[in-house]
Homo-oligomer: A and B are copies of this chain.
Amino acid sequence: MPAYKAPLRDMQFVLHELLQTEQLYQQMPKYQENVSLELINQYLEVAADFCENELAPLNHIGDQQGCHLDKGKVTTPDGFKEAYQKYTELGFTSLTADTAYGGQGLPTLLRISISEMLCGSNWAWAMYQGLSHGAMRTIEHHGTEEQKQTYLTQLVSGKWTGTMCLTEAQAGSDLGLVRTKAEPNEDGSYSITGEKIFISAGEHDLTENIIHIVLARLPNAPAGTKGISLFIVPKFNVDEAGNLADRNKVVCSAIEHKMGIHGNATCVLNFDGAKGFLIGPEHRGLNCMFTFMNTARIGTAVQGVAASEISFQGALTYAKDRLAMRSLSGAKYPDKNADPIIVHPAVRTMLMTQKAFSEGGRALAYFLAQHADILEVSNNPEQQKLSDELLAFLTPIAKAFLTESGNESAKHGVQVFGGHGFIAEHGMEQIVRDARISTLYEGTTEIQALDLLARKVLKSGGKLLQNMIQLIEEFVEHHSGHTALIPYTEKLTELTKQWHGITQEISKKAKQNPEEIGAASVDYLYFSSYVVFAYLWARMAQVADEKLQAGTSDEQFYRAKLTTAKFFYQKLLIRTQTHLAAIRSGAESVMELEQNHFSF
């Protein structure tokens, strides 16, 4: 397995130098007292130590052993339970939760940074705590005081974990098709009946209780998405004193055999008149969930960054070590039998691509997490509004593009290893298998693309896009005198014009034929993603160049940043032009073949 090294230096660069986290958070009352550069770094270092030394060694074991189901009980791989215990002792389960319920009230940005390390060192393990977070947010935002005291406090302490039970066999991307029923009982509770599939961490042996958040329909519910309500369904019922009572009627009947994330139990859960409690208003379950959909998706986005980072680390280490052939410009290590493969440009291109995706992705994920914090705690309504709109616009981009680029990086990681990349013991193929889930769950890439183009861009009349373009234009204007940045700012100006233009073209064509939106959506998402990356890479280049101008003891770090920015612009950003051409060619060739004539 590639050893995992938490990329603390680059994380700190993004948090402190690019995003100026301390300065910004000091302006927000909630964080004024407890968020400082030192505190962030302390947390990161504790988490890095945990990830490098506790989680990473369990990563390959988890993949090999997988989870086992016996009579409704799931056994997780060796060491997973002990690692979870240690994780709760370190206080990481309570990081962002409300202090009134045992939380530490720290920013989402910190949680996302730590989450990157958890996923990078052990993706399957990280999901057990990740899903809990969704359950916590739901109860924190929509639960009654009693529900918070009963369930939230135990989730916050990590004593229990939580799940999100959305998907059913016939209802995945289209949650309007959910059939699970909730029938009211006389005591104010509900009887929940139905089958949920793909429930991550739906059953396991890490904790004594599991709190399921379940989407179900009340008897009088309207059809479709507007008739779904949310329920809390504990694995063990809880008595009035908060102790575990009888076993609730929810059973894990199967766990899935999957391509990857073997260490995480993906469960079929059967609810057979299980006792549940309504959370939030009737029929408004999906709306309730949307309140934290953005942060959940940033959580998935950062998994893509983690995949890019760990596959880069593995590939770089191998490329410096493995000897094969000579450099085309003459032997670089004539005393060795051959040169290390990092001398070969094709290998370097793959490594630089991984590096550009990893570092650019980190910048984007953290940038978004910061806006999630601003939205939540800022006392400046104008700032909040902008953050809200930026989040709405950028979340589908981050979710889709960081996971897709994470998959691309993982592919390169295998490729750099040659045939050895295909062998399990090197761990590079596991990254491919684990990362593959990320473009599928939490909304597929295609769903994100439609969300971006149809809902966010076109439905807002271009307003949400305009916000982003304005940010870019402000950057360009502000740095117009900075000659080192000219290649970047010129390109950004050109790209924002294209972005604006192509959006208008689609909007116009869509009026004739709505299929044009769907046909353009995925390419539009990629085009937009590369431009957003270009903005962040330009900002990173600006910071790096200023540091170098000012003089620094960390010169190599900043020089590498500038090279990577240049590489991104010259080798990756150019992909925008193919996406633009694909959009312009329209829906015709996509839609022409009749369904019945589509055959083999």
Q: Mark A568-592, 1 if CB is under 8 A from B, else 0.
A: 0011001101100110011111111
Cβ of A345 and Cβ of B518 under 8 Å apart?
A: yes
Q: Can you list 21 A-B pairs with a CB-CB distance of less than 8 A?
A: A7-B600, A167-B419, A172-B324, A172-B419, A173-B324, A176-B338, A258-B429, A260-B422, A320-B595, A328-B454, A346-B518, A348-B591, A415-B445, A419-B440, A422-B440, A560-B593, A560-B597, A564-B593, A571-B589, A571-B590, A575-B578
Tell me if A88 is interfacial: C-beta within 8 Å of chain B: no
A253–B425 alpha-carbon span in the complex (Å): 16
Q: How far is the CB of A410 from chain B (nearest CB, A)?
A: 11
- Which of chain B's residues has its CB closest to A326's CB? B174
Cβ of A346 and Cβ of B415 under 8 Å apart?
A: no
- Which of chain B's residues has its CB closest to A582's CB? B571
Which residues of B are found within 8 Å of A422, using beta-carbon distances? 258-260, 436-437, 440
Cβ of A429 and Cβ of B198 under 8 Å apart?
A: no
User: Of the 9-residue stretches A210-218, A308-316, A379-387, which lies at the interface with chain B?
Assistant: A308-316
Q: Mark A312-341, 1 if CB is under 8 A from B, else 0.
A: 110010001001110111000000011010
A191–B328 alpha-carbon span in the complex (Å): 36
User: Of the 9-residue stretches A35-43, A280-288, A509-517, which lies at the interface with chain B?
Assistant: A509-517
Tell me if A457 is interfacial: C-beta within 8 Å of chain B: no
Q: Mark A506-550, 1 if CB is under 8 A from B, else 0.
A: 000000011101110110000000000000000000000000000
A172–B415 alpha-carbon span in the complex (Å): 13
Contacts A177-B323, A560-B598 hold; do A328 and B566 have CB atoms under 8 A apart? no
Which residues of B are found within 8 Å of A320, using beta-carbon distances? 595, 598
Tell me if A449 is interfacial: C-beta within 8 Å of chain B: yes
Q: Which residues A213-268 have CB closer than 8 A to chain B?
A: 256-260
Cβ of B257 and Cβ of A425 under 8 Å apart?
A: yes
Which residues of B are found within 8 Å of A20, using beta-carbon distances? none
Contacts A174-B325, A432-B436 hold; do A595 and B519 have CB atoms under 8 A apart? no
Which residues of B are found within 8 Å of A444, using beta-carbon distances? 415, 418
Q: Which residues A336-367 have CB closer than 8 A to chain B?
A: 337-338, 340, 342-349, 351-352
Q: How far is the CB of A395 from chain B (nearest CB, A)?
A: 18
Tell me if A563 is interfacial: C-beta within 8 Å of chain B: yes
Q: How far is the CB of A391 from chain B (nearest CB, A)?
A: 23
Which residues of B are found within 8 Å of A450, using beta-carbon distances? 346
Contacts A415-B446, A598-B316 hold; do A324 and B177 have CB atoms under 8 A apart? yes
A514–B329 alpha-carbon span in the complex (Å): 6
Tell me if A85 is interfacial: C-beta within 8 Å of chain B: no
Count A-side interface residues using an 8 Å CB cutoff. Answer: 103
Tell me if A290 is interfacial: C-beta within 8 Å of chain B: no
Cβ of B556 and Cβ of A597 under 8 Å apart?
A: yes
Chain A interface SS verdict (over half): helix
Contacts A348-B591, A352-B589, A590-B348 hold; do A328 and B518 have CB atoms under 8 A apart? yes
Tell me if A559 is interfacial: C-beta within 8 Å of chain B: yes
A556–B324 alpha-carbon span in the complex (Å): 51
Q: Which residues A151-201 have CB closer than 8 A to chain B?
A: 167, 170, 172-174, 176-177, 198
A283–B221 alpha-carbon span in the complex (Å): 80
A177–B340 alpha-carbon span in the complex (Å): 13
Tell me if A599 is interfacial: C-beta within 8 Å of chain B: yes
Which residues of B are found within 8 Å of A378, using beta-carbon distances? none
Which residues of B are found within 8 Å of A514, using beta-carbon distances? 328-329
A170–B419 alpha-carbon span in the complex (Å): 12
- Taking a contact as CB atoms closer than 8 A, the residue among B177, B324, B560 that contacts A174 in the complex is B324
Which residues of B are found within 8 Å of A337, using beta-carbon distances? 170, 177
Cβ of B595 and Cβ of A449 under 8 Å apart?
A: no
A419–B442 alpha-carbon span in the complex (Å): 10
A259–B431 alpha-carbon span in the complex (Å): 11
Tell me if A567 is interfacial: C-beta within 8 Å of chain B: yes
A598–B416 alpha-carbon span in the complex (Å): 15
Q: How far is the CB of A420 from chain B (nearest CB, A)?
A: 8
Contacts A258-B423, A518-B346 hold; do A585 and B590 have CB atoms under 8 A apart? no
Task: Identify the interface centre among A343, A560, A595, A600: most chain B CB within 10 Å of its CB.
Answer: A600
Which residues of B are found within 8 Å of A429, using beta-carbon distances? 258-259, 436
Q: How far is the CB of A358 from chain B (nearest CB, A)?
A: 8
Tell me if A414 is interfacial: C-beta within 8 Å of chain B: yes
Q: How far is the CB of A587 from chain B (nearest CB, A)?
A: 6
Tell me if A68 is interfacial: C-beta within 8 Å of chain B: no
Contacts A419-B172, A590-B352 hold; do A571 and B585 have CB atoms under 8 A apart? yes
Which residues of B are found within 8 Å of A5, using beta-carbon distances? 600
A423–B267 alpha-carbon span in the complex (Å): 12
Q: Shortest 5 CB-CB distances between A and B: which pairs?
A: A345-B518, A259-B429, A570-B585, A346-B446, A174-B324
A349–B439 alpha-carbon span in the complex (Å): 17
Tell me if A424 is interfacial: C-beta within 8 Å of chain B: yes
Which residues of B are found within 8 Å of A257, using beta-carbon distances? 423-425
